[in-house]
Amino acid sequence: MVSRDFIHHNTDRDTKAPQTIRDRDRRIPEKKFHRVSHFNPTGIALSAFSTGTNSAPIPIASGDFKNDCLMDIVVAKPGADNIALFLGSGEGTFAIQVKIPTGATSTSLSVAIGDLNNGNLLDIAVANSDVDNIGILFGYGNGTFASQITYSIEERSYPNFICVHDLNDDFRLDIIAPAKSRDYIAIYFSIGNRFFGNQLAYYTGYQSASSIVVVGDLNNDHILDIIVGNSNANYLSLYRGHGNGVFYGFIAYPLNGTGATSFVAITDLDNDARLEIIVADSGGDFIAVLL
Ligand SMILES: [Ca+2]
Ligand SMILES: [Ca+2]
Ligand SMILES: [Ca+2]
Ligand SMILES: [Ca+2]
């Protein structure tokens, strides 16, 4: 078990050679869907909705994009130049997918949803890996969206994840995405009226290949902190919030794994009002819980 206290660590000495980061991201599911028996105690048949040949769907988010009180599903499709929106019918079925363009060769690897302009309509943020940008799709509330607005990240940064949080308590959602091959996370603060400010970069460690970002208050000071999982470093990069959207420089939180963190989640597992961190290690094929 690792101490909850933040641990300083000189990560510049971590000289582990970068692996085939992009190949890992682009890994296409080798198996097609087979019948799923897990967590299906009622025996209800699971339904499949095609996202298109070779679209290789991965991250999924859900929300009500039509304001009809029915949940819809958004799917990133790195094998296509669009993301898919499946509109819910309320009966467990979904309409044929609506394709939302994200740009030629965009290779969208992640989606996040939220009302990014405080217009009371859900919007979508997307990480377009191969064109090194994040895209924002403002929703019209009827299942359609304005044309994508993009914010560039550094060339060959290959952002592979995106999330939205209000990092500075101004009631406007901000956007965070890892610049994976450049070893930092990019933060875009909302400045209102559908616009976001210039990118702020927080270094994640030498050749760390930052890949997953989660946000929560780890030390119970009522200020959000940022946790970054790295796909090429055996530590999490933690950023303690200072308030007003300012974060201290990263602290390495050592992991006892292979350094190939593929996912991070936080939740209070033991009801002690302190968040635990759950890490998935794709190199070692295990998950770890950090108390
Ligand atoms: Ca909106
Ligand atoms: Ca904000
Ligand atoms: Ca905090
Ligand atoms: Ca806890």
Q: Which ligand is closest in space to the CA of residue 215? A: 3
Distance 136 CA to ligand 1 centre (A): 10
Q: What is the pLDDT of residue 93?
A: 86
Total number of domains constituting the chain: 1
For residue 234, tell me if it sits in a domain: yes
Distance 192 CA to ligand 3 centre (A): 25
Distance 139 CA to ligand 1 centre (A): 6
Q: Which ligand is closest in space to the CA of residue 187? A: 2
Residue of 165, 205, 201, 144 lying closest to 13 (CA atoms): 205
Distance 118 CA to ligand 2 centre (A): 11
For residue 64, tell me if it sits in a domain: no
Residue of 172, 186, 166, 184 lying closest to 245 (CA atoms): 166
For residue 258, tell me if it sits in a domain: yes
For residue 191, tell me if it sits in a domain: yes
Distance 186 CA to ligand 4 centre (A): 28
For residue 207, tell me if it sits in a domain: yes
Q: Which ligand is closest in space to the CA of residue 277? A: 4
Task: Note down pLDDT in tens along the chain; length 291 residues.
Answer: 334 434 333 333 333 333 333 443 433 333 322 222 333 334 444 566 676 776 766 668 889 998 899 999 999 988 889 999 999 988 888 887 899 999 999 999 999 999 999 999 999 999 999 999 999 999 999 999 999 999 999 999 999 999 999 999 999 999 999 999 999 999 999 999 899 999 999 999 999 999 999 999 999 999 999 999 999 999 999 999 999 999 999 999 999 889 999 999 999 999 999 999 999 999 888 888 887
Distance 202 CA to ligand 2 centre (A): 17
Distance 114 CA to ligand 1 centre (A): 7
Q: Which ligand is closest in space to the CA of residue 290? A: 4
Distance 218 CA to ligand 4 centre (A): 10
For residue 92, tell me if it sits in a domain: no
For residue 248, tell me if it sits in a domain: yes
Identify the CATH number of the domain in which residue 221 sits.
Answer: 2.120.10.30
Cα first-last separation, the chain: 7
Distance 10 CA to ligand 2 centre (A): 31
Q: Which ligand is closest in space to the CA of residue 220? A: 3
Q: Which ligand is closest in space to the CA of residue 118? A: 1
- Which range of residues forms the domain containing residue 170? 153-290
Q: Which ligand is closest in space to the CA of residue 121? A: 1
Q: Which ligand is closest in space to the CA of residue 267? A: 4
Residue 137 CA: distances (Å) to CA of 100, 140, 150, 194, 262:
9, 9, 9, 10, 26
For residue 254, tell me if it sits in a domain: yes
Neighbours of ion ligand 2 (CB under 5 A): 166, 168, 170, 172, 174
